[in-house]
Every structure is written in C-alpha cells, then in structure tokens.
Amino acid sequence: MLHRLRYILFASIASFISVPLFAQLVPAPLVDAKASDTWDGSIFQIEDSKTRVSIASVKLSVSDLKPEGDKLVGEYTIKVPLMESKNDQGKIVLPLDRTMQEIENEGGILRGQAISYKVDKTPKAIVCEILPEQDQKILLEITTLDRILKFESKYSIIETSEDS
C-alpha cells in the first residue's frame, strides 16, 4: 500500500512538473494569411535613431521594411563610432501576425531576428514595440551577446496601390 501511495505521489509530481516544460515546446500559432495579405505593396519606414552605451553613441539605420510572404524584411546598419569593430550590417526579418490596420490603429509588438551579414554571427533577437497614439513611436530592442540595445524612433506606414 505504501509503495502504491509513493507511486501515485511521484506520478502526480512528475505530471505537475512536466506541464510547464511541455507548454514551452508547443509551437507558436501559425501566422494568419489574411494579416500578411494586408501588407501587400505597403512599406514600413523607421527613422534613423541612436542610443548611448557607456560613453559611446550607437547609431541604427533601417531600410524600408517590405512584405515578403508572411514577413516584413529589410536591412539594418549599426555604427559604433568609438569602436568600429562593433559596426554591423544585416537583414531584419519580422513575422507578420497583425494586419496593417491593427498596427496603424492599435500598435503592437513584432518579434523577429536581426541576421548579421558577418560570417559566424548568431542571429540577434529584435523586438519592435509600435506605439501609434504616441506620435507614431517605435521602440526597438536588439539583443546582442554583450547587451540589449534600446532605440526609440518614429515610423510611418506607406500604403502603395498595386495599380499605380
């Protein structure tokens, strides 16, 4: 009887512990095809910005982000004038899980990757928090091996018609 009680207790604890581990392995929901369709022909522009890291000024430039399938894709350039070896260029890839109208009206968060063109560089996580009601601000966080770089900038969405 004691052996069975131990087994039940162990099984209960094991199932309790495994639930959070399983939850982490569940894949993210698929991107709604309709959300990415609303971006066709549109361009997401981010103004150049800079932040400080210690005494150094770090500058970020992002090209126009354009829809490619279910992602917004563009290029970035990071310049660190006091440490040119830290300069970087690469590609930004942001999965689209919100319609263009949702972003324009409500804002939201897009999480993706900044993929360096340098050889043997690990892709960096990038988080873009879009704040439309606050003068169209965008907060960008790029996670590097050394730190999280936080930039604040302005953005605009330019809708282009496919007929023009």
Q: Would you list the domain boundaries of the chain?
A: 33-158
What phi and psi values does residue 108 have, to the nearest 5 degrees?
Answer: 145, -175
* pLDDT at site 36: 61
Say what the pLDDT of residue 13 is.
37
Question: How far apart, in whole angstroms, are the C-alpha atoms of residue 145 and residue 117?
Answer: 16
Asked if 132 and 138 count as a contact pair (C-beta separation under 8 A), the reply is no
**Cβ-proximal residues to 84 (8 Å cutoff; 6+ apart), any chain:** none
Report pLDDT for 135: 82
Q: Does residue 56 contact residue 82 with C-beta atoms inside 8 Å?
A: yes
Segments in the chain below pLDDT 70 = 1-37, 134, 161-164
- Contact status, residue 76 vs residue 92, Cβ threshold 8 Å: yes
Tokens, residue 88 = 């970087």
Superfamily of domain 33-158: Quinohemoprotein amine dehydrogenase alpha subunit, domain 2 (2.40.128.120)
